[in-house]
A and B are shown apart, each in its own frame.
Chain A
Amino acid sequence: KAGVTQTPRYLIKTRGQQVTLSCSPISGHRSVSWYQQTPGQGLQFLFEYFSETQRNKGNFPGRFSGRQFSNSRSEMNVSTLELGDSALYLCASSLVARSGGVYEQYFGPGTRLTVT
């Protein structure tokens, strides 16, 4: 079974631009979560999507948005980029339990975004 894939793997943008990152989950996984990872802040939760609906949102400004498509693929968008948005953006997918249980998340390789 193919793992989580993310595109692009590396990206360089300038301040003020916007960027869209893509994530394809493991086949059969309907939950997709996005994280930002920086050396100073560690791994921080951005948002989670399930069945094309945002289920949870972390503490990030409205410049960060996302969506999920009917095939469970997900995109995240960052508008008006700032230098501080330079980070590794990780996508993770998981199965969804029917009755309150949880499943482990499987991470993609990430997109390394550099804002200059």
Chain B
Amino acid sequence: GQNIDQPTEMTATEGAIVQINCTYQTSGFNGLFWYQQHAGEAPTFLSYNVLDGLEEKGRFSSFLSRSKGYSYLLLKELQMKDSASYLCAVRDSDAGNMLTFGGGTRLMVKP
């Protein structure tokens, strides 16, 4: 089975930087995804990591360390519209590449 842990809630200030951590345990790691979900809406894809290191995409970056079973999503220059839940999800090749989601981190950006 898989175990994916994320903080439940975080608060940050507009213009600041925030890091959302995700730890996982899986037997056949085959990629880690980050999704953003605004209240009442569907999740939207943010980033994908399969090799160790940092993937940068505009204000958002995602980091992966496979040996530590650890990833983080870094959001820079926070905007009010970044208030949302951020979901970490892991694919397990030992489970038919099934995607398992963490519980999500609800981020509140304050002015």
A residues touching B (Cβ–Cβ < 8 Å)? Answer: 33, 35, 42-45, 48, 55-56, 58, 90, 100, 102, 104-110
Cα distance, A21 to B104, chains bound together (Å): 25
- Contact (Cβ within 8 A) B44 A42: no
Choose among B45, B48, B89 the residue with the greatest number of A CB atoms under 10 Å from its CB: B45
In the complex with contacts A43-B104, A104-B33, A104-B48, A109-B41 CB distance below 8 A: yes
- Contact (Cβ within 8 A) B102 A42: yes
- Contact (Cβ within 8 A) A107 B99: no
Enumerate chain A residues within 8 angstroms of B89, measured Cβ to Cβ.
Answer: 43
Q: Which 8 A-B pairs have the closest CB atoms?
A: A107-B42, A43-B101, A104-B45, A42-B103, A56-B96, A56-B98, A102-B31, A107-B43
Chain B interface residue count, CB cutoff 8 Å, equals 25
Chain A residues touching B, majority SS: strand
Closest to A106 in B: B45
Q: Does B3 touch A at the CB level, under 8 Å?
A: no
Cα distance, A19 to B84, chains bound together (Å): 30
Q: Does B13 touch A at the CB level, under 8 Å?
A: no
- Contact (Cβ within 8 A) A102 B91: yes
- Contact (Cβ within 8 A) B42 A108: yes
Option from A102, A106, A109, A110 in Cβ contact (under 8 Å) with B97: A102
**Nearest-Cβ distance from residue B29 to partner chain A, whole angstroms:** 11
Closest to B95 in A: A56
Enumerate chain B residues within 8 angstroms of A35, measured Cβ to Cβ.
Answer: 101
**Nearest-Cβ distance from residue B105 to partner chain A, whole angstroms:** 11
Enumerate chain A residues within 8 angstroms of B43, measured Cβ to Cβ.
Answer: 43, 90, 107
- Contact (Cβ within 8 A) B99 A45: yes
